[in-house]
Amino acid sequence: MKNKTIKIAILTLIFIVGVLGFGERVNAQSGDISIIPWENVNLYGMNTTAGSGRHLNTPVSTIYKVTNLNDSGPGSLREALSLIGPVTIVFEVSGTIALQSALWIPSYFTIAGQTAPSPGIIIKNYGININRNIHDILIQHIRFRTGDKSVGGTLSDGWTDVDGGGPGTVYSHPLSVEPDNTPSYYPPSVWWNWIYLDEDSNQTTNVEINKWDWDNGILYVNVGTDPADGKLMYGVSKSTISDPLTVDDHYSIEHGWVVPYNLVIDHCSFSWGGDMNTMFGSQYTTMSNCIISEALNHPWHPKGPHSKGCLIKTDFGENGAKYVAIIKNIFAHNVDRNPLMQGCDGIVANNLLFDIYFGICTDDHSLKAGDEHISIVGNYIIETDLIKYSMYIKDGMKVTSRIYISGDNYYDGQVQTDPWNSEATTHFEQRLSFSLPASDVPEINRVATAEEALWPTGYISMSATDARTYLLANAGARPADRDAVDNRIINEIISESVTSSIIQTIYTDNDDCYAEDKPFNCCTGFNTGNCPDRIWPTLSENHRSLTIPADPNEIQPSGYTRLEEWLHGFSRTVEGKTDNTLNTYFVYPNPCRVYMGEKFITFDNLNSGDLINVYDISGKPIYETNNITSNTYRWDIGNISSGIYFYKITGSNKASGKIVIIR
């Protein structure tokens, strides 16, 4: 976290500018621009071109309009995802898309959920997958609420007896074939709970995978006999448990696989995943401004109750997941992994955690995982009676791993200015191990100062308390147009109830929680049990015709295409940035740090005909524009000296403010 020691006056200005809506915005370096114009281009993956087509010599993006809520067919989201990128997906319909199977997204895609009419889009039953070899993706303003829909099956659904039956029978099942025609480790987006019944159909057990046949795409399972009564067990694929977002982490030189990269997931809502709500096995990835809530804690998962928020993992060392930013998100009502950084490099900053058992975790103990470099900065954690540890670092840290914990994380009811002093807090454990005594993290693994820590160049984090305020107003798929689930989550956080409420199921209508869920204060959904408000929100189906801008692929002075600038306007609307007041204008980077390579200051959300004048601190004019012709203007600061400057915008609206330039 280099160059954090900026003068107090400048920090104060940054805070003021942040309150006005300008803060935390860093623009392009060396011609690169951020796919989200008010985010730092150096955030991991943020310089992706996604579906814009800007990576081509002649930019072009296929624009697909989703016009209905069907699972497939013309006008559906699934058909849009069958195209070859660059593609930009826009929505002329709102409502719930009830999927019949998982979605797969190709490279160079933008999913612009902000274009849907109010109240937006929910994706139900199954989630979306980003497979190995896939790259350059932007997903914004979508709600993913999968649930735990049960899908029955028998041997006739694809299972084959390959050795004639009897004890130790081996059944095989063809693997699903993914879009790149390589067999999958699991059927797409689904944890299959391999359930086997005895001849009386009253005994269930899970079995382990016995053998993979990659060449023929066959999974062999040794069923054996029931351990309770010795009776023969018959194969039944019983249920699918789908997750809202899964990013595949498999790497193989033999099969030509690399992990996904250049991914940005922004302003989405994820809930009711059966394995976990989100999983990233990718490189150069940012998840920001999302709500990750209520991962299901039912006992049907192969490992038992499994309410997990977010996993960033790798089993492939340097070739696996690294450079992942989990910033400005809300994690609520997830038992564990809020998030879990497992053997990767990344930052966890400015997140709000509520009603969790295990909070922010680092873990490099896997034999396949690489070392890790993690920075944990400015997070705000609200404990309930469920809490075990707000932050923990697992036992077995590699000598080459490094952890930085800033002195501004909030937990145990206060900002923890002495982060490595575990004796001063109740809910921080440095070396969590269920089989060995806990001990302090060795000095060699601790990063002592911000300047030494892993950190995206120029990214400015908020304080934990400012992050809480920001997230309550700005997190989730559509902060200005929230559905009932996100509204409930926000209100529960505001109330800071100390009673935990972990959801078990969204489909099952029983009144009691399973014994396996204890000691968690678990509740069922579907308008039953002690959580009657855990129900599917009903989104109205509304339609709105979209008029795509003329020459949508034309590059504008801002560096974005005309189509991208059009999409930015929709984002501002659903994020609540639409008032004709000072904070409708975005001026970034501010401060502009020339020594970091920042050469331009961008004025965003302008109107045609606006004028910009810039003055030095004595009031002398130093820069003036002609009439603005687009909603974004980029000022090349050239040899402008370090100092404080003032700008004035006149035209359809009036605004003024300060700019700081540091050389």
Residues in the chain: 663
For the segment 417-442, the average pLDDT, to the nearest whole number, is: 74
| pLDDT per residue as tens digits for the range 368-425 | 566 789 999 999 999 888 888 888 887 667 788 889 999 999 998 889 988 888 777 7
DSSP track, 250-307 = --BTTTTB---EEEEEES-EEE--SS-SEEE--EEEEEES-EEE-----TTSTTSS--
Please, which pLDDT band fits residue 452 given cuts at 50, 70 and 90?
A: very high
**Nearest to 415, CA basis, from 463, 347, 476:** 463
Binned at pLDDT 50, 70 and 90, residue 125 comes out as: confident
CB-based contact 286:590 (threshold 8 Å): no
Predicted local confidence at residue 522, as pLDDT: 53
**Nearest Cα residue to 649 out of 662, 639, 659:** 659
Which of these ranges, 183-187, 244-248, 617-621, has the smallest mean pLDDT? 183-187
pTM for this entry: 0.74
Residue 192 near residue 240, CB atoms below 8 Å: yes
Position 231 pLDDT exceeds 60:
no
DSSP-assigned beta bridge partners for residue 635: 601
Classify residue 548 by its DSSP letter: P
Separation CA 34–CA 559 (nearest Å):
10
pLDDT at site 36: 94
Enumerate residues 6+ apart whose C-beta is below 8 A from 103: 77, 78, 81, 123, 126, 127, 128, 129, 189
Examine the pLDDT at 110 and tell me if it is beyond 90. yes
- Confidence at residue 176, expressed as pLDDT on a 0 to 100 scale: 36
Which of 255, 258, 256, 154 has the alpha carbon at shortest distance from 196?
A: 154
Which pLDDT tens digit goes with each residue over 240-281?
457 787 777 666 656 667 889 999 999 999 998 877 899 888
470 or 503, greater pLDDT: 470
* Ranges 485-494, 605-614, 622-631, most confident: 485-494
Supply 358's token pair.
């295990």
Neighbour tally for 265: CB within 10 Å:
27
Query: Which contiguous run of DSSP H or E holds residue 322?
Result: strand 322-327
Domains, the chain, ordered by start? 1-28+582-663 (2.60.40.3080), 32-146+243-471 (2.160.20.10), 155-241 (no CATH)
d(CA 612, CA 414): 44
Find the range with the poorest average confidence among 41-45, 238-242, 590-594, 600-604: 238-242
Q: How far apart are CA 630 and CA 609, in angstroms?
A: 9
Gap between the Cα atoms of 441 and 396, Å rounded:
10
Residue 224 has pLDDT above 50, yes or no: no
The pLDDT score that the predictor gives to residue 649 is: 85
142: alpha, beta or left, given left = phi > 0 and alpha = psi -120 to 50? beta
**Per-residue tokens: 588:** 């970034």
Range of lowest pLDDT (220-234, 331-345, 562-576)? 220-234
**Mean of pLDDT over the chain:** 75
Distance CA 326, CA 377 (A): 11
pLDDT digits (tens, 9 = 90+) for 136-177: 999 999 999 988 764 333 333 444 444 444 433 433 433 333
Q: How many CA atoms lie within 13 A of 276 on its CB side?
A: 19
Task: Report the pLDDT value the prediction gives residue 603, as an integer from 0 to 100.
Answer: 80
Q: What is the percent of the chain where pLDDT is above 90? A: 35
What is the rounded radius of gyration, in angstroms, for the C-alpha atoms of the chain? Answer: 26
